[in-house]
Amino acid sequence: MQNKGFIRVFAVLLTLVCLFYISFSFVTRHYTKKAEEYANGDAMKYKQYIDSIATEKVYLGYYTFKQCREMEIGLGLDLKGGMNVTLQISVADVLRSLSNNNTDVNFNKALANATANQADNKDFLSAFVNEYKKLDPNIRLAAIFSTYQLKDKITPNATNDEVVAVLREELNSAIDNSFNVLRTRIDRFGVVAPNIQRLEKDGRILVELPGVKEPERVRKLLQGSANLEFWETYNLNEFFNKLASANELLARLENQSEDTSSKTDSTVVESQDSTAVTATTSLKDSLTQKIKDMNKSDEQQNINAWKKQNPLFARLNPNVSQEGAIGNGPAVGIAHINDTAAVNKYLAMRQVRELLPANIVFKWTVKPIDEKEQYFQLVALKATNGGRPPLEGDVITDAREDFDRMTNSAVVSMSMNAEGSKIWEQLTRENIGRCVAIVLDDQVYSFPVVNTEISGGNSQISGNFTPEEAKDLANVLKSGKMAASVKIVQEDIIGPSLGQEAIQSGIISFIFALVLLMVYMISMYGVTPGLVANLGLVLNMFFTMGILASFQAVLTLSGIAGLVLSLGIAVDANVLIYERAKEELRLGKNLKNAITDGYKNAFSAIFDSNLTSLITGLILFFFGTGPIKGFATTLMIGIAMSFFTAVFLTRLIYERGLERNWFKHLTFTTSLTKNWLTHPKINFLGVRKTGYIVCAVLVVIGVISFGIKGLSKGIDFSGGRNYVVRFQEPVNTQEIANLLKPYFEGSSLSVITIGGENQVRVSTNYRIAENDDAIDKEIEMKLYDGLKSMLGGKTLDQFKSDNIMSIQKVGPSIAEDITIGAIWAVILSLIAIALYILLRFRDISFSAGTLVSLAFDTVIIISFYSLFYGLLPFSMEIDQSFIAAILTVIGYSVNDKVVVFDRVREVIGLYPKRDRYLVINEALNSTLARTISTSLSTAIVLLCIFILGGDTIRSFTFAMLLGVIVGTFSTLFVAVPVAYEIMGRKQKKAQLAEAAK
């Protein structure tokens, strides 16, 4: 093997990188355990401990605990739970915008009243109209909403009902826009597999994000309206005298309040101009004296006296040096995060505003300036456009994270349209030598000095960003501006949707399956080959997890599906190599040549099968969302690592062993498998017509079942109702689910913790299509009956008032466009696979056979779930995990078919004149041992998880297990026979053409 040195070096470096990234998970686990021991079950103490070490350097003397948490392997909602956020889109903002910000008093009062009562109203628009009618019984909504924007929809003579109909349509459109913007932002946030659902109330959206380690980062992401602005700025030395006067004024006002004196505001204001210079001088002296006092002594009396004399500057440390030099820039000063509200209050006072320039605007920086993340800068902006900035973010056409080599930091690069470019050029030309502030959602991201006029509309936002912060900012700008402001109205921590018992049983079953798989490899190919293959599997998992950690990906049930498939592909590669090595040994070659030729002859099949699976993963990653993207990410990493470990690392081990004479009598067989499928003579093509009939019957039965019964849709597709139920003591979610299942037979049901161990959220799609209030009462009765044993003798009314904390009706987390996107992603991946096979094999018969068989696999599995849901003793719902299972089946099945076609191509290459019937039968028989061995090894893993993994993941593993069986059948009796039929027709046409000549 060539390039052995490179492979060794790469393997060592990859091992070190993976160890580095995986180590963060051990560090965070250590400190999390310490926090749990300290808290002793007290959630507040636990949070305080975690917050206290957030900025402490806890690893390698460089990484803070917060950074370690960012770098660890994250788990998804199904495995660990996460952050549950209810967002409220300001419907009032949308209506105000549609009215072109109408100043009518009754209109704005009606909006305010409807907003105040929004929590009690599902329909904000109806509430607004009712409030408006209370204020003005003769209202004509057309007079408010017949604006230029709505001129084609609302005429001045339109009735109130017509106006309401248009407004409802516009509101839904605006809420849809905000929903899509949020979903785009979250998808770009990373591989987090979120749940995003619309609630029944106007403008309410439920967002669930897994394993959130930075809640503040998420809050900014969700609440940011992407309102980007470019402002001119003041220099502090231009208004510092007036700011100092404001400080003196505030001191007098507070002293007057304490002395209960009653001077008028006007008298106080008039006295300020005469004292401005004195105030400036005294401020410099007092600031210097304060520093001296604090350096010399800790006397609290001196400090308190200084604070009393300087109420503003005691909270806002101005940008003034110890020598008294005033800063020449827009940075006014710094303040502790706890003092920012007081500073804002001072600067907003009418008396203070009258002292300061009329067009000055103050805003805080988005980033703290200290390592403890406690101090923020206040920046002075100049409103030169009627109170508005001269340039806003609607001119941005593109935004992307970038790297500035001059400052060696992450930045965000932006491109503007023609109008924006022109204004930006003028703005920078007029402010050369001064700062221009870049503000997003009322927070200053940077205020760089303009050195020269900027033309072309390209610019950057800098601000000492981390790569993640630059990515988030570019994400928000690129996703688009919200139609209205968004605020978080409720925030909770939720437990894993699978339940702790299900997760533990799933982990145990996976470990047991892995051990069984290793035993299987040893029993099939002998101790030494089995151990080498098993080492490759362990390294494959280690490398995959390490790379996932480096990407800061979140591992979900979908990701585990990708991991299982990549393990199956890794086993398949080892089986291919060993089967080819066995063939070479039977031909009389020595061990060294047999191993060398085994790797050489198996390479093309391994490469083709891995590449087709990789193509599938790439397309699913770029066109899919949520669980599909998570599956694709894990799959692609797993495929790359399985190829590296199976083809290169295991070969290095064998070559080293042969050089050292470690391996002497390897046969790649055991007493059990010595004569197993050595020379099979099965006539697969001879029974192809029977196979066609069986396939046709199965498809027809499935289609009929699908048409009559349909599918059992889970909450992901159907939506449902959420009931938050609180108990006196901590409860077990699995126990509650078991109590409730008999009462919700035939419907989807999930139970997770939310907000605490004594509170759960019960979600069900029971009669979700019906909106009658009686359904809610019926479900409440079912909940009461199911949970009666845990309620301590409470009546139904007591249960409803004491235990049911909230009720929500939610839409599907997998929206229709996501479903359509998933279907298109699968279709595109199948087309890409067919094209690759056509290019690689130079024969359309192989592409056609693959497409037909994969379509058959998918139809059969979906049909099986339609036919048997409600009949088998476990859930067969169609949800996010089922999508992952279908994708796994497609990936596995493609791999199987490509390997067989590769052998067909090889035999045809050796015997081009031989009859295709004989050639294909020989190829199928020669790969039969590999086909059965790979299918059997993968089935062992899935069967273990199916039996031991618990009810909640049984449907998921059953779909994959069924896929392995169906995929193997379709390879032998669909893909290859269809390819033979097409090949035979082509051959007959060629023969007829030859005869005609």
pLDDT digits (tens, 9 = 90+) for 925-973: 888 887 888 888 878 877 877 777 666 667 777 888 888 889 889 988 9
Q: Which of 972, 940, 946 is nearest to 959 (CA)?
A: 946
Give the whole-angstrom CA distance, residue 201 versus residue 188: 27
Going by pLDDT thresholds of 50, 70 and 90, the confidence category of residue 722 is confident
Tell me the range of 41-55, 94-108, 398-412, 547-561 where mean pLDDT is highest: 94-108
Q: Do domains 228-481 and 685-709+816-996 have the same CATH topology?
A: no
Q: Are 230 and 390 in contact (CB under 8 A)?
A: yes
- pLDDT at 290 (0 to 100): 45
Q: What is the mean pLDDT of residues 580-591?
A: 86
Give the whole-angstrom CA distance, residue 837 versus residue 899: 11
In the chain, the N- to C-terminal Cα span, in Å, equals 49
Going by pLDDT thresholds of 50, 70 and 90, the confidence category of residue 293 is very low
- Unique residue bearing structure tokens 């990410």: 633
Going by pLDDT thresholds of 50, 70 and 90, the confidence category of residue 677 is confident
The token pair that represents 223 in the structure block: 């609440």
- pLDDT at 818 (0 to 100): 59
Maximum distance among all Cα pairs of the chain, rounded to whole angstroms: 119
- pLDDT at 263 (0 to 100): 40
594 versus 954: the higher-pLDDT residue is 594
pLDDT over 50 at 205, yes or no: yes
Q: Would the CA dihedral through 701, 704, 708, 712 be positive or negative?
A: positive
pLDDT over 90 at 16, yes or no: yes
Q: What is the pTM of this model?
A: 0.63
Q: Which residues pair with 436 in a beta bridge?
A: 232
Give the whole-angstrom CA distance, residue 463 versus residue 459: 13
275 versus 817: the higher-pLDDT residue is 817
Q: Which CATH architecture has domain 228-481?
A: 2-Layer Sandwich (3.30)
Give the whole-angstrom CA distance, residue 848 versus residue 817: 29
59 versus 222: the higher-pLDDT residue is 59
Pairing relation of β-strands 74-75 and 554-555? parallel
| 831-859 pLDDT per residue, tens | 887 888 888 778 888 889 988 998 898 88
Going by pLDDT thresholds of 50, 70 and 90, the confidence category of residue 500 is low
Amino acid letter, residue 299: E
Give the whole-angstrom CA distance, residue 29 versus residue 35: 10
DSSP 8-class letter at 194: -
> Could you give the C-alpha distances from 453 to 35, 42, 664, 666, in angstroms and in order?
54, 58, 76, 75
Q: Are 380 and 401 in contact (CB under 8 A)?
A: no
The token pair that represents 104 in the structure block: 């009518």
Going by pLDDT thresholds of 50, 70 and 90, the confidence category of residue 568 is confident
Q: What is the DSSP string of 290-338?
A: HHHHHHH---HHHHHHHHHH-HHHHHSEESB-TT-PBPSSSEEEEEEGG
Q: Which of 627, 512, 528, 520 is nearest to 885 (CA)?
A: 627
Q: Would the CA dihedral through 889, 895, 898, 903 be positive or negative?
A: negative
Superfamily of domain 498-659: Multidrug efflux transporter AcrB transmembrane domain (1.20.1640.10)
Where exactly are the structural domains of the chain? Answer: 1-72, 86-223, 228-481, 498-659, 685-709+816-996, 720-810
Q: What is the mean pLDDT of residues 678-707?
A: 89
Range of weakest confidence among 62-76, 133-147, 335-349: 62-76
- pLDDT at 288 (0 to 100): 45
Q: What is the CATH number of domain 720-810?
A: 3.30.70
472 versus 597: the higher-pLDDT residue is 597
Determine what percent of the chain is predicted with pLDDT higher than 90.
Answer: 8
Q: Is 443 in a helix, a strand, or coil? A: strand
- pLDDT at 443 (0 to 100): 83
Q: Are 739 and 786 in contact (CB under 8 A)?
A: yes
Range of weakest confidence among 463-472, 661-670, 968-977: 463-472
Q: What is the mean pLDDT of residues 251-276?
A: 47
Q: What is the mean pLDDT of residues 895-912?
A: 81
- Unique residue bearing structure tokens 């592409």: 847
- pLDDT at 696 (0 to 100): 93
Give the whole-angstrom CA distance, residue 990 versus residue 984: 10
Query: What fold is seen in the domain 685-709+816-996?
Result: Multidrug efflux transporter AcrB transmembrane fold (1.20.1640)
The token pair that represents 39 in the structure block: 């808290």
What's phi and psi for 262, nearest 5 deg?
-130, 60
Q: What is the DSSP string of 204-250?
A: EEEEEEET-S-HHHHHHHHH----EEEEEE--HHHHHHHHHHHHHHH
Q: Report how far Cα 834 is from the mean position of its chain's Cα atoms.
A: 30
- pLDDT at 294 (0 to 100): 40
Q: Are 446 and 489 in contact (CB under 8 A)?
A: no
- pLDDT at 302 (0 to 100): 64
Q: Is 374 in a helix, a strand, or coil? A: coil
Give the whole-angstrom CA distance, residue 204 versus residue 124: 11
| H or E segment and range at residue 990 | helix 976-996
On average, the pLDDT of the chain sits at 79
Q: Are 849 and 979 in contact (CB under 8 A)?
A: yes
The total number of residues shown for the chain amounts to 997
Determine what percent of the chain is predicted with pLDDT higher than 70.
Answer: 83
- pLDDT at 543 (0 to 100): 92
- Let me know how many helices (H) and strands (E) the chain has, helices first: 36, 23
pLDDT over 50 at 277, yes or no: no
What does the buried/exposed string (b/e) look like for 743-760 if buried means 16 or more CB atoms within 10 Å of the residue's CB?
A: bbeebbbbbbbbbeeebb
The token pair that represents 70 in the structure block: 């960012």
Q: What is the mean pLDDT of residues 491-499?
A: 64
pLDDT over 80 at 265, yes or no: no
Give the whole-angstrom CA distance, residue 555 versus residue 630: 7
pLDDT over 60 at 282, yes or no: no
DSSP 8-class letter at 84: E
Q: Are 167 and 98 in contact (CB under 8 A)?
A: yes
- pLDDT at 360 (0 to 100): 92
Going by pLDDT thresholds of 50, 70 and 90, the confidence category of residue 287 is very low
Range of weakest confidence among 111-115, 435-439, 810-814, 823-827: 810-814
